[in-house]
Structure 1
Amino acid sequence: MEPNKVQPEGGLNVTLTIRLLMHGKEVGSIIGKKGETVKKMREESGARINISEGNCPERIVTITGPTDAIFKAFAMIAYKFEEDIINSMSNSPATSKPPVTLRLVVPASQCGSLIGKGGSKIKEMRESTGAQVQVAGDMLPNSTERAVTISGTPEAIIQCVKQICVVMLESPPKGATIPYRPKPASTPVIFSGGQAYTIQGQYAIPHPDQLTKLHQLAMQQTPFTPLGQTTPAFPGTLLPLHYLVCTSWLDASPPASTHELTIPNDLIGCIIGRQGTKINEIRQMSGAQIKIANAMEGLSERQITITGTPANISLAQYLINAR
């Protein structure tokens, strides 16, 4: 296949990957009963359609293939969503039909080209296709990608996607792209007897993750054995929630201590985050007090002081290193 060979319909016959962000309900609609809908879409469009795994409220749907295959897949998705809207309207008194909406995930370095100088490109796309196009101002969490929302009739959406594909091919992403990965559905975690439990309904289920290991490590560092260690915490054990809540207060709190670490100036922004969002998140998750010293002239590093229990400090350190 010759790259960038212009097709009679004005499309570019090259292989491309487009990522979509969908809610669980939308993903269910695309997959269909026993996976029949997505199988049909793959066969009829010729595009590869992959759906990210995991118990997440949001999922990433990746569509890869020659541009004509991608457009066919998009058309099938847009018409499926329209069908869902029509079906849901038959049960409601609403008279005006809401538009079909798709969310693309686009590297931030390409968003400038999509918007154009003074918003000229995005305005041209809206006017020529009749679709509404919005580029998110902020990047998606822990990534260098932005959400681009397209809404309108299926026909308008397909025309709009074609134009977006042309722009993306003409302006490839600059530098490395950190892809957006949706976070799993967050469930509350309770510590008891050195074991973390996630709450599901009326039961607490042992949660063998990094938090547990850090909590256990912190407990080993304390000069005494917490009373809560008597809690029966065998792997796979389901504990009634009221029992766990009653016993978790027995975990004696170790005395607070302080830990200091230094971070290079060029990395401090990653830890603080936009308007302090990341550092506040770390403070909340770890339960530790975290102070960042002001930048000193002539020094290439900043000092971070963490105060709290050994468990709080261990978790704060882990989260800072992960950033």
Structure 2
Amino acid sequence: MRVNEALPGCDERVVTIYSNSEERNRIEDDNEDFVCPAFDALFKVHDMVVVEEFDDDDDYNDNDEYSEGQTVVTVRMLVPSDQIGYLIGKGGPIIQTLRNDTNAQIRVRNDNLPMCALALSHDELLQIIGDPSAVREALYQVAFLLYNNPSRF
């Protein structure tokens, strides 16, 4: 994992997660599914951010679960422009399937890139919004598509 330096006047940072694709980690203690370490790190970072953001929120309960339909989270992810087509599909069928399967709002934003991303001109901003479990599932499916269609950059 690499966390870029903070830019003056910007409260966001770019976090880059990468790993050797031949390695595998179990994604949860009781689960038989294995993923590359980058997937594992992505979900751990996501879960930590969600927990920290909503730790004092009334929608968060003592079992580390969220009351569905009450809490909304947003994930913003920079995706290399040569991979964004794999997420959209010709005419949009892939992104629409992702939306339908996960019940999350998923959109590609070409405008309003955060200041910390402006230097990364070959990236597009993917935004996922919804309840925590829908966003996590959408994040998993997006990461899987990107993993199977690596960037040429």
1:50 and 1:103 map into 2 onto residues whose CA distance is: 15
Q: Secondary structure at the match of 2:107?
A: strand
Report the equivalent of 2:54. 82
The structural deviation recorded for 1:55 is 2.0
Report the equivalent of 2:127. 149
Code of the aligned partner of 1:54 = L
2:45 and 2:105 map into 1 onto residues whose CA distance is: 20
Report the equivalent of 2:140. 162
The structure with the larger Rg is 1
The structural deviation recorded for 1:108 is 1.2
Q: Secondary structure at the match of 2:138?
A: helix
Report the equivalent of 1:9. none
2:4 and 2:54 map into 1 onto residues whose CA distance is: 20
Deviation track 1:97-123 (CA, whole Å, cap 9, x = no partner) reads 462112111111111111112211111
Q: Is the 8 A contact 2:105 2:130 kept in 1?
A: yes
Matched, 1:137 2:110: yes
1:61 and 1:138 map into 2 onto residues whose CA distance is: 17
Q: Secondary structure at the match of 1:117?
A: coil
Determine what percentage of the aligned residue pairs are the same residue.
30
Matched, 1:120 2:93: yes
Code of the aligned partner of 1:132 = Q
Q: Secondary structure at the match of 1:59?
A: coil
What root-mean-square deviation, in Å, do the aligned CA atoms of Structure 1 and Structure 2 show?
A: 2.5
Change (3 A) 1:111 1:163: same
Q: Secondary structure at the match of 2:7?
A: coil
Report the equivalent of 1:70. 42
Report the equivalent of 1:55. 8
Structure with greater proportional strand content:
1
Q: Is the 8 A contact 1:129 1:159 kept in 2?
A: yes
Gaps of 5+ in 1: 1-47, 88-95, 177-323
Deviation track 1:163-195 (CA, whole Å, cap 9, x = no partner) reads 111111111223x4xxxxxxxxxxxxxxxxxxx
The structural deviation recorded for 1:62 is 0.9
Deviation track 1:190-244 (CA, whole Å, cap 9, x = no partner) reads xxxxxxxxxxxxxxxxxxxxxxxxxxxxxxxxxxxxxxxxxxxxxxxxxxxxxxx
Q: Is the 8 A contact 2:78 2:123 kept in 1?
A: yes
TM-score when normalising by structure 1: 0.33
Q: Secondary structure at the match of 1:146?
A: strand
Change (3 A) 1:118 1:135: same
Report the equivalent of 1:297. none
Matched, 1:105 2:78: yes
The structural deviation recorded for 1:52 is 2.6
Gaps of 5+ in 2: 20-36, 59-68
1:82 and 1:157 map into 2 onto residues whose CA distance is: 15
Change (3 A) 1:167 1:152: same
Code of the aligned partner of 2:6 = E
Structure with greater proportional helix content:
1
